[in-house]
């Protein structure tokens, strides 16, 4: 993937090193529930995890820590990489959305954190994997997931990591188009949850198609992304963590489905091909 000479996004918020263990939330146990329900899943929508939990009256509080301004943090390659990928998504979706959906693209922010962090969707833990919060229109990422993607899922390469970000940006597109609100209004169901995730995979593929046309994709990159999509399929995760596959409990789709929908988007470059809800 050709990212080193690309521009850097101004929408990256670096919270690493803020002492996340100073965070507290009232009501006791929500962080643990999110951790259990969201563990090992890529692209969790925290609203789905929080929907049926009791209403909390406590406030998320962060203890004083170092300044969060990323200018004061040392540059590192991971941060430069995700900032370049975010810039690519901003440029490409800034063209795609008006052309294909007659909507102006509003750029989300990417929050980098270590361990745990507050969000408008609740208490974020690294074990949840990367997630998008529609409440604040921010993507959340702990770089430890990149290591897990390589070590546990055997999905290596820059484009595999770019796919993870592009999938979360796909959720942001769904939020801008009102798809998330429609799913929320329809009520909780695994079928709708799977459709939401597969459409985000397809949108990631649409982004990849246009990145390829701009000369940003190299030979082998598509295979890296497809391996990453397969690695975070519900059946693959269940087989590895539980030893048994339970399709009725899928929330993100099987490995085969995730590969197919990413490929559908990357082959067409057309959002209209991403009708996973049909």
How would you list the strands of the sheet with 131-133, edge to edge?
12-14, 109-112, 138-141, 131-133
* Mean pLDDT, rounded, for 102-124: 95
Residue 250 lies in a domain: yes
Q: What whole-number percentage of the chain has pLDDT above 90?
A: 54
Residue 7 lies in a domain: no
pLDDT band at 149 (very low <50, low <70, confident <90, very high): confident
Give residue 23's pLDDT: 31
Give residue 28's pLDDT: 30
The number of domains in the chain is 1
pTM of the model: 0.79
- Cα separation, 164 vs 204, in Å, equals 8
Residue 6 lies in a domain: no
Q: What does each C-alpha distance from 208 to 51, 122, 181, 230, 240 come to in angstroms? A: 32, 30, 26, 16, 29
- Cα separation, 222 vs 167, in Å, equals 14
* Mean pLDDT, rounded, for 5-21: 85
Q: Which of 2-6, 152-156, 219-223, 255-259 has the lowest mean pLDDT?
A: 152-156
pLDDT in tens, 72-99: 444 589 999 999 999 999 999 999 999 9
Give residue 52's pLDDT: 40
pLDDT at 212 over 90: yes
Residue 4 lies in a domain: no
Residue 197 lies in a domain: yes
Contacts of 250 (CB under 8 A, 6+ apart): 190, 194, 234, 235
Residue 159 lies in a domain: yes
* Mean pLDDT, rounded, for 226-247: 81
User: Exposed (0-12), middle (13-18) or buried (19+): which is 82, by Cβ within 10 Å?
Assistant: buried
- Cα separation, 47 vs 134, in Å, equals 8
Residue 3 lies in a domain: no
Residue 246 lies in a domain: yes
Asked if residue 204 lies in contact with residue 167, where contact means CB atoms within 8 angstroms, the answer is: yes
pLDDT at 156 over 90: no
Q: Which of 161-170, 174-183, 252-261 has the lowest mean pLDDT?
A: 252-261
**Domain range holding 114?**
12-273
pLDDT at 261 over 60: yes
């Amino acid at each position: 993937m050709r990212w080193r000479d690309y521009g850097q996004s101004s929408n990256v918020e670096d919270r690493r090193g803020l002492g996340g263990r100073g965070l507290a939330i009232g009501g006791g146990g929500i962080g643990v529930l999110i951790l259990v329900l969201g563990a090992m899943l890529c692209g969790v929508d925290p609203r789905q995890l929080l929907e049926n939990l009791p209403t909390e009256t406590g406030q998320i509080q962060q203890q004083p820590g170092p300044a969060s301004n990323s200018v004061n943090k040392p540059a590192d390659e991971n941060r430069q990489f995700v900032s370049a990928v975010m810039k690519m998504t901003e440029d490409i979706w800034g063209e795609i959305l008006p052309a294909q959906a007659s909507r102006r693209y509003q750029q989300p922010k990417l929050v980098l954190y270590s361990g745990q962090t507050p969000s408008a969707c609740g208490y974020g833990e690294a074990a949840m994997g990367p997630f998008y919060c529609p409440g604040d229109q921010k993507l959340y990422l702990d770089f430890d997931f990149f290591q897990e993607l390589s070590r546990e899922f055997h999905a290596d390469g820059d484009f595999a990591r770019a796919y993870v970000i592009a999938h979360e940006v796909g959720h942001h597109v769904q939020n801008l188009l009102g798809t998330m609100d429609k799913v929320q209004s329809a009520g909780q169901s695994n079928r709708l949850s799977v459709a939401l995730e597969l459409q985000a995979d397809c949108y990631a593929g649409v982004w990849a198609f246009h990145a390829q046309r701009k000369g940003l994709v190299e030979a082998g990159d598509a295979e890296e992304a497809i391996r990453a999509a397969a690695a975070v399929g519900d059946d693959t995760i269940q087989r590895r963590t539980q030893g048994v596959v339970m399709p009725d409990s899928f929330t993100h789709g099987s490995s085969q489905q995730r590969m197919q929908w990413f490929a559908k988007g990357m082959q067409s470059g057309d959002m209209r091909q991403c009708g996973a809800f049909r």
